Amino acid sequence: MTALANFVMRGRYQALLVAVAGSGSFLFCWISAAVVALVTLRQGAASGAWLLMWAVLPAGVLAVVFGDSGPLQVLLGTAALAFVLRVTVSLATTLLAAVAVGFISGVLALLLAEPLLQQLVSLFGEFLTNMEQQLSQGDETVTLTRPTVTQVAGMMGVGTAMLSVLCVLLARYWQAALYNPEGFGKEFRALRYPAGVATALVLAALGLASLGQEMRTWAVICALPLSFAGLALMHARAAAQGQGSGYLAVFYTAWVLFDPVKLFVMGFAIADSWIDFRSRWVKASDPGRPERDDD
């Protein structure tokens, strides 16, 4: 993948080729979005906007002809986050901006893509019907809750925000690999939120979830920054303990498969906003290190 980034940075037309080639496909739009983000981070907003202008054409055709606005939303969301990262030079701020990207994407889906949402609701309904038939035995009938249009729109918002963040992180990794080796790892491991921000995100998520079943998918959008902060904390823990990629592979497998692990990671990030585990790990690994005045 670094070779692809190197090819892209050889010139604007190489970047244009890669960005346009993948932007009309949901399978490869993430590559195009990451390329737009890389150019924005390295060369500035003007160069990124020029590339985005061409990349959105195939994605726009896909949205108009087939009603699939996913690639277009990922491109625009990633470009917006890349601009925020370019201006603020802060992953924490960029991830907070992803919350806005998720909500805007979900609201636009409700306003402009109701036929697509209805199709997705029908597909979910058919899938759940098959699941009910397989789970039901004898006189015992299993009934699964069907998602609503509002819930599916929230899912789309979560998906767009998540993919946009991942594309920006990939672009930042490419930038560091080409121009500042190991810089991305240090930057990501330092990702942390102050207690006030973490508390506000938790309260927003709980407030949305309390509005009912339909809003729980929207609440997940508010939890995204804390999820990534928790993942960054796990990487920092692995680095402090000298644990290799094998440990992280096992952790990510558990994180993907088990929801309690996801909740634990978020809880770890919330606790870190108050306790600052990283400074404690540094002291534990270097007992002779002098304490700071604010320790």
Give, in degrees to the nearest 5, the angle at Cα 74 between 71 and 77.
150
- The pLDDT assigned to 219 comes to 93
Distances (CA, A) of 273 to 52, 119, 196, 224: 36, 41, 8, 15
Residues 2-26: tens digit of each pLDDT: 888 888 888 888 899 999 988 888 7
Residues 130-146: tens digit of each pLDDT: 877 777 776 677 677 77
- Average pLDDT value for residue range 122-128: 81
Phi, psi of 212 (to 5 degrees): 130, 175
Res. 294 pLDDT band, cuts 50 70 90: very low
Decide if pLDDT at 290 tops 80: no
Q: Bigger pLDDT: 148 or 84? A: 84
Instruction: Round to whole Å and give the CA distance between 208 and 201.
Output: 11
Residues 202-241: tens digit of each pLDDT: 999 999 999 988 899 999 999 999 999 999 999 988 888 8
Decide if pLDDT at 40 tops 90: yes
CB 109 within 8 A of CB 85: no
Decide if pLDDT at 292 tops 50: no
Residues 76-89: tens digit of each pLDDT: 999 999 999 999 99
The percentage of the chain sitting over the pLDDT mark of 90, rounded to a whole number, equals: 52
- Average pLDDT value for residue range 169-180: 93
Show the tokens assigned to 203: 């309260």
Residues 94-123: tens digit of each pLDDT: 999 999 999 999 998 888 877 778 888 888
User: The tokens 């990501």 sit on which residue?
Assistant: 188
DSSP class per residue in 120-139: HHHHHHHHHHHHHHHH-BTT
Q: Bigger pLDDT: 66 or 19? A: 19
Instruction: Round to whole Å and give the CA distance between 227 and 240.
Output: 20
Q: At 247, is the secondary structure helix, strand, or coil?
A: helix
- The pLDDT assigned to 284 comes to 58
Instruction: Round to whole Å and give the CA distance between 22 and 65.
Output: 17
- The pLDDT assigned to 159 comes to 92
